[in-house]
Amino acid sequence: MADAQPGDHDIVFVGHVDLGGVFRGKGVVGREWPHRCRWGVGWPPANLMLTPFGVLAPNAFGSRGDMFVVPDPATLVAVPAIGDAPPLRLALGHLRSADGAAWECCPRAYLEGVLADLEAEAGLRLKGAFEHEFLFSGLEAQPGDAFSLGAFRRFSAFAADLVRALDGAGITAETVIAEYAPQQIEVPVAPVTGLAIADQAAVFREVVRWVANGYGCVASFTPIAEAGGVGSGAHLHFSLLDRQGGPAAYDAASPTGLSAVAASFLAGVRRRLPDIVAVTAPTVVSYERLQPHRWSAAYNTMAVRDREAALRICPVRPGTDRPEAEQFNMEFRATDGSANPHLVLGIMAAAGLEGIRDRLPPDLPFEGDPEDFHPDALERLGIERLPTSLEDALARFDQWGRALVPPGLADAFVAMKSAEIASLEGADDGEVVARYRAVF
């Protein structure tokens, strides 16, 4: 954004969401900005191995080597000072080596590559937005709060400031919701295309945290904030566009509304879901959320308008101001705010592209509650329970899912997540939840 250009004494935080889902980088002083757009900020390769708790996993990089986070000037945003929150300037970058080449371990470069393949091979682009749920500590919890005007009244000043701050970051908030759980808020935002879907999610999380801090409060995107509590998801709503930018996912004549190519894409994602869920739901507490009857995703089901499905076909409404083909979208629910949005979108798109390459036939939408089905019946339908722990999900990713990402990235992810799991050994449920809540 042109008006985001920093003055000499403004600071631009140049960073990326790392493999652990944390936004890390360095502040660049405004007078350095033009130079740093080319040069970047120095980044030891070992930083790749930081767990979300800030501890380095064992790694071969050690103290050696130099990478750079090189900002993409198109991502520069400036959020004005709002309330007691100071102004925020942010830019996202790629991890590059000294010769300027993108590092195979860079999550943003990975997503870019997958999106380029999807466009080159299938003529498709993605349009979408992550729909985040988060807890705001400034919203005093009261019984019966869900969706109530009473709850809204208690956080409406924060909501109005947040909408303004998001505008400053180029993100268009659409609705403001007092969600089901105590202190839980959701602010769906307008869809964008391609890389910007993940960039927008990364910036959204930080702007929410920034404005919350201005209130002397915190916002948490942790998937589970209290042992046994309600989960927070970061559902990914998406559709497909053709080369002309027209909608490509909708076919009014098909029973699900899915076009043939969208059905293959979705079947590819469904087939791979158990292999990739370690990436999309990447923390120990993610698996407390992915349980049956929590309106998240416990099985690799695709269903029409069912919030227990991992892949949900969302409704279209005839006779409104937007054509049905433009309204039509699908929802990937097996992800949360502890995940790296670039990796989530990248690996989902890679799985979908595989489905297109393999010309997968449309899945039959699942009907009913998988918990009521005999395991043999589920097997016949190709439905399986998603891994029930990060450890199991990681083993599955290490064996099968890694084929969808560059080898160096897969190795680093598995090693870093293994260290994260090991670091929680001996902690009881309450401590585990509290540790993640403090980070996310």
Among 15, 20, 214, 233, indicate the residue that binds ligand GLU (CB under 6 A). 233
Q: Return the one option of Mg ion, ligand GLU, none that residue 274 interacts with (CB less than 5 to 8 A, by type).
A: none
Output DSSP code: residue 385.
Answer: B
Q: Return the one option of ligand GLU, Mg ion, none that residue 154 interacts with (CB less than 5 to 8 A, by type).
A: none
**Which of 292, 316, 314 minimizes the C-alpha distance to 368?**
292
CB-nearer residue toward Mg ion: 26 or 294: 294
For 238-251, b where at least 16 C-beta lie within 10 A, e where not — what string? bbbbeeeeebbbbb
Among 40, 93, 231, 341, indicate the residue that binds ligand GLU (CB under 6 A). 231
- Cβ neighbour number for residue 135 with a 10 Å cutoff: 24
CB-nearer residue toward ligand GLU: 184 or 327: 184
DSSP-assigned beta bridge partners for residue 68: 42, 96
> d(Cα 115, Cα 103) in Å, to the nearest integer?
17
Q: Return the one option of ligand GLU, Mg ion, none that residue 296 interacts with (CB less than 5 to 8 A, by type).
A: ligand GLU
CB-nearer residue toward ligand GLU: 147 or 400: 147
Stretch that binds ligand GLU, among 29-37, 225-233, 245-253, 420-428 (CB under 6 A): 225-233
> d(Cα 277, Cα 296) in Å, to the nearest integer?
13
Residue nearest to ligand GLU (CB): 233
Amino acid at 93: G
Q: Return the one option of ligand GLU, Mg ion, none that residue 26 interacts with (CB less than 5 to 8 A, by type).
A: none
Q: Return the one option of ligand GLU, Mg ion, none that residue 289 interacts with (CB less than 5 to 8 A, by type).
A: ligand GLU
CB-nearer residue toward ligand GLU: 112 or 179: 179
CB of 133 to Mg ion, least distance (A): 5
CB-nearer residue toward Mg ion: 130 or 215: 130
CB of 181 to ligand GLU, least distance (A): 7
- Residues in contact with Mg ion by the rule CB under 5 A: 186
CB-based contact 182:149 (threshold 8 Å): no
> d(Cα 336, Cα 321) in Å, to the nearest integer?
31
Contacts 24+ apart (CB under 8 A), 154-158: 155/185, 158/211, 158/212, 158/215, 158/217
Q: Return the one option of Mg ion, ligand GLU, none that residue 231 interacts with (CB less than 5 to 8 A, by type).
A: ligand GLU
CB-nearer residue toward Mg ion: 186 or 206: 186
Helix (H, G, I), strand (E, B) or coil at 434: helix
Question: Does the protein bind ligand GLU through residue 133 (CB under 6 A)?
Answer: yes
Applying the rule CB under 6 A, the residues between 286 and 315 that interact with ligand GLU are 289, 295-296, 307
Q: Return the one option of Mg ion, ligand GLU, none that residue 295 interacts with (CB less than 5 to 8 A, by type).
A: ligand GLU
As given in the structure block, the two tokens for residue 191 are 């869809």
CB-nearer residue toward ligand GLU: 45 or 182: 182
Question: Does the protein bind ligand GLU through residue 385 (CB under 6 A)?
Answer: no
Q: Return the one option of ligand GLU, Mg ion, none that residue 20 interacts with (CB less than 5 to 8 A, by type).
A: none
Helix (H, G, I), strand (E, B) or coil at 121: helix
Applying the rule CB under 6 A, the residues between 317 and 336 that interact with ligand GLU are 333
For tokens 């493999």, name the residue.
19
Amino acid at 440: F
CB of 309 to ligand GLU, least distance (A): 11
CB-based contact 440:52 (threshold 8 Å): yes
DSSP-assigned beta bridge partners for residue 88: 79
Q: Return the one option of Mg ion, ligand GLU, none that residue 21 interacts with (CB less than 5 to 8 A, by type).
A: none
Burial class of residue 66, CB neighbours in 10 A (0-12, 13-18, 19+): exposed
Question: Which residues are within 8 A (CB) of 372 and not within 5 positions of it... i.e. 6 or more apart?
Answer: none
Residues that bind ligand GLU (CB under 6 A): 133, 231-233, 289, 295-296, 307, 333
